[in-house]
Amino acid sequence: MKKVGIITYARFYNYGTALQAHALQQAVASLPDVEAELIDYRFNEKLKHSLWWYLKIRIKRFFYYFTATKKIFRKLKYKNVFLQKRPAFDDFFSSDFVLSEKTYLLGEDLQNYPPKYDVYMVGSDQTWSPLVGFYPALFLKFAPSGARRVAYAPSLGVTNLSDGQKAFLKDNLSSFAYISCREKVGADLLSDCLGRDIPTVLDPTLLLTREQWSDISVSPQIKGDYILCYLIGDRAYYRDYIRRLSDKMQCPAYYIPVSWRDVGEGNNLICDAGPKEFIGLIKNAKCVCTDSFHGSIFSLNLNTNFYTFLKIAGGEKASDNSRIAGVLKTFGLEDRLRTPESPVEFEEIDFNMVNKRLENLRESSWQYLKEAVEV
């Protein structure tokens, strides 16, 4: 029996993060004669910083605090609203994650007491993003010399790299037997940086079928049709679009609150949904409105009509927007992207075409995973 240890962002109160970690562990564990577990790394490097470090950060952010008083006040006022989902997440972590026996608070804990596996795998999400920060553990620096190192669908989250970032990636990825990327733009950047062909593979959540996700979903207690709104960014244009779409469809909009803009506005809020409830809410919605990468691809996978918005200004090529624009293009769904100029309308998606493309991409992604683990 081959044992695979997966390191990725996992135990965070974010739907996409938690579900992609679960999906990859489940996918790898489904391979013949393979056991897989998530390495329980908590990314607590911030605990090492001094009080003076925190004070300097606060001073640097003074202008931001001064100009964002409304945002800060509302987030503080409604802090408990954002915390209500945590018990459901904690239940999911306990019941649906297969975790390493040891918990690692810091990267140096992994370095000093490395777990033993036949295959070491870094997973998806923005694990190699310069914007998030390069964590040595996510480049498998703790794995012993000569160990089999594999990367499944990490995301860079950017459209270009500095010379310093290219040098870091080249130095830290040279020992990997298999490297893939979640987005084509990231795969092209890595190919140029490393001088080797880097394939694009599906996000781990798309390795599992809609039937598999339906099996663990929890249906919402909402009667009748509804629009589900899962909005991470703060932009006003798509909130106005949703209000007009709700009127046009004669269908109420329900919000999973993430942004400060969606609390205290008289919205229908769903505050206590965990990952399983999140899946159920998407599956049963008449339409999903989101600026989230995982909100978009779960809608796609579950065959739920959806509209996607650009989370940051700068168009489709802006770093965070490019992930969503890329996946829409992959599945021929560019028309589901809504900009400030888009007309307010509701049209059904032809999921027959989408499902055929997904099945082909799923097959090639599974083939990569099998070869990487050497099944």
% of the chain beyond a pLDDT of 70? 91
Q: Give per-residue pLDDT as tens, 68-91.
A: 788 888 888 999 999 999 999 999
Judge contact between 238 and 231, C-beta under 8 A: yes
What is the enclosing helix (H) or strand (E) of 329?
A: helix 319-330
Q: Give per-residue pLDDT as tens, 212-237.
A: 999 999 999 999 999 999 999 999 99
Higher-pLDDT residue of 67 and 280 is 280
Phi first, then psi, for residue 34 (nearest 5°) are -130, 135
Lowest mean pLDDT among 95-99, 108-112, 165-169, 320-324: 320-324
Query: Taking all residues of the chain, what is their mean pLDDT, rounded to a whole number?
Result: 92
What integer is the mean pLDDT of 118-147? 95
Exposure string for 133-152, b = 16+ CB within 10 A, e = fewer = eebebbbbebbeeebbbbbb
Strands 287-290 and 306-309: parallel
- Whether 123 shows a pLDDT value over 90: the answer reads yes
What integer is the mean pLDDT of 206-213? 98
Q: Give the sheet arrangement for strand 337-338, strand by strand.
A: 268-269, 253-255, 227-230, 287-290, 306-309, 337-338
Radius of gyration of the chain measured on its C-alpha atoms: 21
